Amino acid sequence: MTLVPHTHWDREWYEPFDVFLERLVPMMDSLIRLADAGFPHFHLDGQTALIDDYLEARPEREPDVRRLVTAGKLSAGPWVAQMDEFLTSGESHVRNLEMGLKRARDLGRALEVGYLPDQFGHIGQMPQILRQAGIRRAVVWRGVPREIASTTFWWEAPDGSRVATEYLAFSYALGGDLHRFTDPEQLAAALRRKAEQVGPFLPTDRMLIMVGSDHSGPDATLPERLAKAEPMLPGLSIQVASLAEHVDAPLPDGLPTWRGELRSSARAHLLPNVYSARAHQKRERGRVESLIERYAEPLAALVPGFGWPRERLDRAWTLLLWNGAHDSACGCSHDRVARDVDAQYAEARAIGEGIVHEALASLGALVSEAGLLRFNPSPFERDGVPGLGWRVEPAGREPEGTPVEVVARGGWAHAEGLAFTFGDEPDVGDLYNFCWAREEQVPSPPDGLEVRGHRVRAVWEGLEVRLRVVRRAGEAVIRLEGVINNRRPDHRLRLHIRLPREAEGSVAGSPFELIRRPLVSEGSDLEAPSPTWPARHVVLAADVAAYHEGVFEYEVVGDELRLTLLRSVGTISRESIPTRPWAAGPGTPTPEAQMIGTTAFAIGLRANASHEVLLPDWERFALPPAEAPATGGGSLPAVGRLLELEGDAALSSVRRHEGELEVRLWNPRSDGPARARVAGRRLTLGPAEIRTHRTALAALRD
């Protein structure tokens, strides 16, 4: 039995960051004293953020932290923060690992284990992300399906990459109560009970128990008490050790394998409705991620003569990683935390917009003609602008987008072969889980659905939706752009989209993946099976596609696709609700999560869609060309490309990194190759492969 003393440290959750920081500083002070006195090891939750938060307050303790990390008495990394995997982009996961491992190695030694203890499910591509960072082992809790009945299993990504994964069958807090047993016999009995609890899941005689809980410090007397209790545990060898020491052991033959995402609540509640809590933040995160990944970094990397703004981009990424933490990104926190998250998105946005403005101004001075400079962030041509290129046009060009005529019929709005309406229903759940007020309740249609030309208005008592339907030239997607005016609490508002037939499942966007899903996830008596799922940017059901700038919640019900536009609830958690008969957190009131006021939204819809059009459609929907005045007078032509990039692989990022130009691509197909050409180099990506291609900057200039 390996006991790993640890803390699970949320930077912010039911209290704001500064309140938890007041607890972190004395905890770390005492931990350093204890480690110097001989305490064998303490696991710092797989994050470097809490170390840096401590050192921001206690900079004089950095030599002590370095010494203890180097000696293996404190763990560091591999992540900056424990991010929600579905609400953050694939690029965010890559940067989280990259920055976390770099910082941990700078401190002396990195924990090279994909420790993922409390995320609300896990993306299918995580094994490939870990392997590409050099990590071969993972540790998870939530989301493991009933089919996996072993504490060790192989977890495979859709490309076939796999990591040996340790399953914390009874959470990261199984040993969190051991500090209560001061008597050796009591401690021995407690350890025996835990061994019996975990025993049925063990593929070998090796057992992992994490000793700690949320925002806890070390149990200083554990080694001493354990030495007294161990003689009372014949046949059970116990050590206090690190996570790395436990997983660094030969693996038995015959381990079970799971391929793809982990989104089951068979043995732990998954908390599936965080994806609709504080909906405005989900949209803003998607927009800011796109701003940094697809505009600021590519322009800064590719515009000739433009200096790489490393410090500003590092700051933007740090803000995104902090905001990506599972309690922060999910919106399931104190209202002040939500306001802090908004402020950090605003700062990251300002950084990105500043870099884009400066880079476009620089490019605008390099072109020969004056006029309106347009930059296309997509790898393919759009509206006459080359992929990852520019075009100078006469100033004063009319904005794109023409009204789409809408007709009301039978309580539905019809436009361009699509039909949609709205449904609103009571929600007596919390920030984690939707819950009906009556088990058989059905959504209420609007009291009035008014259509005038391309404008639609839906009203209920205390609730109004106004939107306009437009289409940009040459696009197959229609855009529903609107605002919700909400004046009442405890309800869920959804957009209902009619499908041409009943759907048996869906295809949805996820980081570095388009994944096929069933109608309902696996549930248990811990949490009801959930029909709602998160989608990153796109979802397809029965040939109808929907598009969003960030992550949104969807459900397929018969011949309808339903998208959650707003969920209004007033507490972090409730003690017990029919959809989750256990508390998932404290009952902290969150009146601002009732979303009283106005909330803007934008949804794209397309009929007769297919898997192949989803990502190009999304690029056109969510990544408009960037525009700026061109002063002219330079040597570059009026039309050109900053980087040659062609093919059917999807683009994740373009940046300068360690003296090279780095382009990250991924294959959205899991059943065949994708081909690309980058700066004259032909690439073939295997099914579902993520590929990072590097080119020397000097060679690119030549």
Q: Which residues are catalytic?
A: 118
Exposed, middle or buried: residue 666 (CB in 10 Å: 0-12, 13-18, 19+)? buried
CB count in 10 Å sphere of residue 236: 14
Positive or negative, the CA dihedral 109, 125, 143, 508 is positive
DSSP 306: P
Instruction: Please give the span between the terminal C-alpha atoms of the chain, in angstroms, as a whole number.
Output: 59
Cα separation, 76 vs 97, whole angstroms: 12
DSSP 296: I
Backbone dihedral angles phi then psi of residue 100, each to the nearest 5 degrees: -65, -45
Q: Pick from 225, 134, 133, 212: which is nearest to 176 by CA?
A: 212
Q: What is the CA radius of gyration of the chain?
A: 26
The enclosing H or E element of 513 equals strand 513-517
Cα separation, 699 vs 702, whole angstroms: 5
Q: Pick from 521, 510, 517: which is nearest to 688 by CA?
A: 510
**Which position has the token pair 């039909």?**
419
C-beta separation of 155 from 149 below 8 A: no
Positive or negative, the CA dihedral 52, 54, 60, 62 is negative
Strands (E), 431-476: 448-452, 455-460, 463-471
Q: Write the DSSP string, 33-66.
A: HHHHTT---BB-TTBSHHHHHHHHH-GGGHHHHH
Exposed, middle or buried: residue 299 (CB in 10 Å: 0-12, 13-18, 19+)? buried
Cα separation, 129 vs 593, whole angstroms: 33
Cα separation, 649 vs 685, whole angstroms: 8
